Structure 1
Amino acid sequence: MSYAFTFPGQGSQTVGMGQELASQFPEARAVFAEVDEALGQSLSKIIWEGSQEELTLTANAQPALMAVSLATIAVLKAKGLDLATTAKFVAGHSLGEYSALAAAGTFTIADTARLLRTRGEAMQAAVPVGEGAMAALLGLDFDAAMQVAEEAAQGEICQAANDNGGGQVVVSGHKAAVERACELAKAKGARRAVMLPVSAPFHCTLMQPAAEKMAEALANVQMQDPCVPLVANVLAAPITSADDIRTRLVEQVTGTVRWRESVSYMVGAGASTLVEVGAGKVLSGMVRRIEKSAATAALNSAEDIDAFVEAVNAAS
Structure 2
Amino acid sequence: MRAFVFPGQGSQKVGMGAELAAASAAAREVFEEVDEALSQPLSGIMRDGPESALTLTENAQPAIMANAIATLRVLEREFGVSLADKGDCVAGHSLGEYTSLCAIGAFSLADTALLLKLRGQAMQAAVPVGQGAMCALLGADLDAAQKLAEAAAEGQVCEVANDNDPTQVVLSGHAAAIERAVAMVKDFGIKRGVPLPVSAPFHCSLMQPAADAMAAALAETPPGSFALPLYANVTAAAVTDPREEQRLLVEQVTGRVRWRESVLAMRAAGVEQFVELGGKVLGPMIGRIDKEAEAISVVTMADLEALAKEIG
Shorter chain as denominator, the TM-score bin is over 0.9
Deviation at 1:147?
A: 1.4
Deviations 1:27-54 (A, max 9, x none): 1111101100000011000000111111
Partners of 1:139 and 1:50 in 2: how far apart?
33
Task: Give the aligned partner of residue 299 of structure 1.
Answer: 298
Deviations 1:270-307 (A, max 9, x none): 1111111013x111110110010011111101111111
| Aligned 1:149-298 pairs, distance under 5 A | 149-279=149-279, 281-298=280-297
Any gaps of 5 or more consecutive residues in structure 1? none
Q: Secondary structure at the match of 1:263?
A: helix
Deviation at 1:150?
A: 1.4
Q: Percent identity?
A: 56
Preserved contact between residue 231 and residue 237 of structure 2 (Cα < 8 Å): yes
Deviation at 1:183?
A: 2.4
Deviations 1:226-269 (A, max 9, x none): 11111000000100111011100000000000000011111221
Deviation at 1:184?
A: 2.5
Partners of 1:244 and 1:222 in 2: how far apart?
10
Q: Secondary structure at the match of 1:145?
A: helix
Q: Secondary structure at the match of 1:144?
A: helix
> What TM-score comes out, normalization by structure 1 length?
0.97
Q: Secondary structure at the match of 1:193?
A: strand
Partners of 1:203 and 1:288 in 2: how far apart?
24
| Aligned 1:140-151 pairs, distance under 5 A | 140-151=140-151
Preserved contact between residue 144 and residue 190 of structure 2 (Cα < 8 Å): no
Provide the aligned length of Structure 1 versus Structure 2. 311
The amino acid that maps onto 1:47 is: M
Partners of 2:207 and 2:149 in 1: how far apart?
17
Task: Give the aligned partner of residue 42 of structure 2.
Answer: 43
Q: Secondary structure at the match of 2:88?
A: strand
Preserved contact between residue 223 and residue 245 of structure 2 (Cα < 8 Å): no
Task: Give the aligned partner of residue 28 of structure 2.
Answer: 29
Deviation at 1:225?
A: 1.7
Q: Secondary structure at the match of 2:305?
A: helix
Task: Give the aligned partner of residue 87 of structure 2.
Answer: 87
Partners of 1:96 and 1:150 in 2: how far apart?
28
Q: Secondary structure at the match of 2:213?
A: helix
Partners of 2:76 and 2:246 in 1: how far apart?
26
> What TM-score comes out, normalization by structure 2 length?
0.98
Partners of 1:241 and 1:194 in 2: how far apart?
38
The amino acid that maps onto 1:34 is: E
Partners of 2:174 and 2:222 in 1: how far apart?
35
Deviations 1:56-103 (A, max 9, x none): 110000000000000011111112111112111100000111001100
Q: Secondary structure at the match of 1:162?
A: strand
Partners of 1:226 and 1:177 in 2: how far apart?
40
Deviation at 1:119?
A: 0.2
Deviation at 1:208?
A: 0.2
The amino acid that maps onto 2:141 is: D
Q: Secondary structure at the match of 1:5?
A: strand
Task: Give the aligned partner of residue 58 of structure 2.
Answer: 59
Partners of 1:26 and 1:179 in 2: how far apart?
47
Q: Secondary structure at the match of 2:45?
A: helix
The amino acid that maps onto 1:283 is: L
Q: Which is further off, 148-157 or 181-190?
A: 181-190
Partners of 1:68 and 1:46 in 2: how far apart?
12
Q: Secondary structure at the match of 2:129?
A: coil
The amino acid that maps onto 1:89 is: C
